[in-house]
Structure 1
């Protein structure tokens, strides 16, 4: 039986992923800081929590799962890369077509590539004592490396890996089960109130700290939480402060991620529970729709930024609803839930 709490968390997170991707270009379309602030706010916790949950449910010796994810990745890299090339007027046989660069994940597909790599290396990494601290230290040191490219999504694979290992560490110790739907309503409410208090405090603290910064700082700090750049780009004014800046980012993200999870209800929520169940569908297919949206809709088509945000959130919600609808899920299932066991059975029969 599926756990509604975990599905609800993933359902809310995948909606925020769609919203965040729709919001990317809007930051530069308005003079006020609201879109920049919302964008920064989302990236403080939504991907770290998604990755922590992936680590929480990781199990060793799932080789068929790794093969399945890689096949899914290749298929969608070709589909989405070709769609991007089409919308940008790039020849499909050109090397500029992301579909032909299989080992350089296109846009949001970095996460699928990262999951594949983490699934392969984690059984060996967890043999180390204090493996979370080792991964964190390596990530902080890697920030000095300025030459890494999108090949294998290497920077994000390394920089986000501590979140995956933290989730795995919590799973081994049943840490999340401590919070998971206590039988007594008073306990459930206590956890939710505590999560709300921590999440709100951190959000207000972040907002207060940003009120003293220049407008351009939103871009830099937003990129810190996305782990997109090396220290020389993320903190160019003081590169040696990079590890300390990223250590703060890790701390804030972990606290916000866990406190956010505690606020999510554990009962079945029709849309979000289903969206969590089919979160991989949403994650893959929304890229197709977001690319189409950005190709044909101006970044700032509403008179004010807050109206733009409301419209985009509604569009994101509609995208999720469409993708998780039964007919669409049934249509996409052969491309998302590929049964590699059938190929294995055929191989065993032939041998």
Structure 2
């Protein structure tokens, strides 16, 4: 992270950094999968195809998002300005949208239970990003930080007292993906191997093959995945005693397997993301708008039951998928950003002793406004 000293005034340092389309393409693809997963979640109870489809990408879509966020994070001690951004870009939107959820649930369900320690629905990822940023400087001091993060992720599953309070269990579960993203940037892996300049044909073939295998395994083993409730393992939210009928010493091996699956499928996902600018590249800059707002759009449909028992699957599953993509695009458009901007990007100048620390524009917590 940069220091507080003013930068030199040379043309090289004042010129804005060139955006790399790949990262915006990847962010947009990730947020589409997030909305898609939440949109079809009610369909998986009545359709094996929908359930298999759901499992096939739930194994990697949030890991990939965490990798991107880690790639655009740095492990230096945060400056005052960067600490301010944690408040404005993570903490304040979390409090604002938690309050909105309390009000929504009171209107729809008639219950009012304000509790900022229990994130509502998608808001866990905001807390996770904040905790990731705060812990990374300490992990970076150690040898083998990636290995330590894997050990933490596996070990926390054995501790039932580490639960969803402040999203700590899920945050520590996903920690290796965030640290991997940082590690790739720290060791300049992407640049050294030219991963964003050229891809050989066999890389595309291997990625497509991996996803074909992923889809086949998701469908062929569906009975087993239902029995073991595999989707909850991909949430990284519950302790092993909550996921298994009785405590098993080998449960950490299942967590390790889900981590490896997430690593491999994320790599395949990044291989298939276009390197060049696409019609949706610009929308990748506004993933946090989509992430925070889409749950309010989907909430009435999920809770009303209209997505249950939809037949035939061959018609309704593609229809819901298309609508999910449409919602994603709509929520990233400028009119929505103008209306929702004060909620997603709060800038309360009176809150800070030094208002000059407030950024002139928002640095998306996932890194979408950071130089790449």
* Mean CA deviation greater in 145-154 or 284-293: 145-154
- Structure 1's consecutive aligned runs of 4 or more residues displaced over 6 angstroms after TM superposition are none
| Contact preservation (8 Å) 2:118, 2:166 | yes
The verdict on how the C-alpha distance between 1:88 and 1:219 changes in structure 2, with shifts beyond 3 A counting, is: farther
State the match for 2:125 in structure 1: 111
Structure 2 stretches of 5 or more lacking a match? 1-17, 358-372
| Contact preservation (8 Å) 1:196, 1:260 | no
State the match for 1:334 in structure 2: 342
The verdict on how the C-alpha distance between 1:156 and 1:287 changes in structure 2, with shifts beyond 3 A counting, is: same
State the match for 1:13 in structure 2: 30
CA distance in 2, matches of 1:336, 1:8: 21
The verdict on how the C-alpha distance between 1:84 and 1:3 changes in structure 2, with shifts beyond 3 A counting, is: farther
TM-score, length basis structure 1 = 0.87
* 2:105 counterpart of 1:65: no
SS at structure 2 position matched to 1:214? helix
Structure 1 stretches of 5 or more lacking a match? none
State the match for 2:96 in structure 1: 75
State the match for 2:19 in structure 1: 2
| Structure whose residues are more often helix by fraction | 1
* 2:178 counterpart of 1:169: no
* 2:156 counterpart of 1:142: yes
1:240 to 241, 245, 249: 249
CA shift for structure 1 position 193: 4.1
Over the residues paired in the alignment, what is the CA RMSD in angstroms? 2.4
CA shift for structure 1 position 295: 3.0
SS at structure 2 position matched to 1:269? coil
Q: Deviations over 1:81-113 (max 9, x none)?
A: 3213322222xxx32xxxx21121111100001
TM-score, length basis structure 2 = 0.82
* Mean CA deviation greater in 118-127 or 197-206: 197-206
Q: Deviations over 1:213-253 (max 9, x none)?
A: 52553762222122132222334367222111111111111
The verdict on how the C-alpha distance between 1:29 and 1:212 changes in structure 2, with shifts beyond 3 A counting, is: closer
| Contact preservation (8 Å) 1:37, 1:218 | no
CA shift for structure 1 position 179: 4.5
CA distance in 2, matches of 1:311, 1:73: 31
Count how many residue pairs are aligned between Structure 1 and Structure 2. Answer: 333
